[in-house]
Every structure is written in structure tokens, then in C-alpha cells.
Structure 1
Amino acid sequence: KIQRKAKPGKPLSACQERRNRRIAKVRARVEHVFAAIHQWGGKQIRTIGQACATFAMGMMVVVYNMRRLAFLGA
């Protein structure tokens, strides 16, 4: 799902703009999560073994979800 790009002198059609907007909604939500985890140092996982790395990444996701829950005030 790659967004369409307008060419010089030829704007996007209304259908293409709606498609781009639909793709952008999903992309923005997902990329914000990855950016937050990346800022915490989530790009590098300093563990040995796949099981430990999976656990470490899972814990980062749990922490993200807890912070998000606290932020939303639920």
C-alpha cells in the first residue's frame, strides 16, 4: 500500500486522494508507536538469544501501552 504521488501538471484524482488519506491514517498510527519505542532505545536490543530479545521487545510494548493508558486517563 504505497501512496500515489502527483506529477507536475497532473494533480491526483479525488479517488487517489481518498486512497492516500486512508493509507496515511493507518501509517501515522503505526509509525508513532515505533517512533516512541525507538526514542526509548528500542532500536537496539542488548540480549543474547531470540527468546530474550522477544521478551525485551514485548516488555517495551507493554510499557508503551501502560504509558498510553495513563496519558488517556482511563
Structure 2
Amino acid sequence: MYKCSYSRPKIQPKEPPLGVLSIKEQDRNQRIARTRARVEHVFGGMGQMGAQVLKTIGLGRARFQLTLRCAVYNMRRVTQLEAAGVRPF
């Protein structure tokens, strides 16, 4: 079994001070970075639409507000893809 020099999953190991990462660690970092970039772009886009703070009272209202924000983001993304010539469906 592959033994890692780090203990937490999905955390990219840093390069040692006097060495380089192994090929396995570089490949693993690349896989993590791909997923992270895709997810963080979505959160960044939602953050630009004002999604940093929820001003609601209660979990139900907060869920409803987040659901609406996600729907608006998805509709906006579909229009951007259509304008670029990509067919979403």
C-alpha cells in the first residue's frame, strides 16, 4: 500500500525544503487541483453575485435562499455556455 508523508486526505503535500515531490505526489496534487479549481470557480462566481452572507432567520429560509442562488447561478451559466456555442443538453 502507498504510504503518504502527510496524514489528511485531499490535502496537497508541499515540496520539501531541500528536495522535490515524487511523481506520485505530483500526480496526486494535479488531480486534487483539477477538482478544487472547478469547485472554487463556482463558489467564486456565486460570491460575485452576493453570496457571502445570508441574512435570514432559520435553517429553512437559509436553505431556500441558497437554493434560489444556485438556480440563478445555473441559469446564468447556461446562458454563458449557449453564448459560447456550447449546447448544454
Q: Cα offset for 1:36?
A: 1.2
Q: 2:15, 2:58 → 1: CA distance?
A: 46
Alignment length (residue pairs)? 74
Q: 1:34, 1:52 → 2: CA distance?
A: 20
Q: Cα offset for 1:54?
A: 0.4
Q: 2:18, 2:64 → 1: CA distance?
A: 51
Q: 1:29, 1:35 → 2: CA distance?
A: 10
**Match 2:19 to one of 10, 34, 37:** 10
1:1-74 aligned at under 5 Å gives the runs 1-73=10-82, 74=87
TM-score (structure 2 length as normaliser): 0.78
Q: List alignment gaps of at least 5 residues for structure 1.
A: none
Moved over 3 A (4+): none
Aligned-residue sequence identity (percent) comes to 46
Q: List alignment gaps of at least 5 residues for structure 2.
A: 1-9
**Greater relative CO (CA pairs within 8 A, separation 6+):** 1
Q: Cα offset for 1:8?
A: 2.0
Q: Give the structure with the larger helix fraction.
A: 1
Q: 1:18, 1:37 → 2: CA distance?
A: 29
Q: What RMSD in Å do the two structures reach over aligned CA positions?
A: 0.9
Max Rg structure: 2
TM-score (structure 1 length as normaliser): 0.92
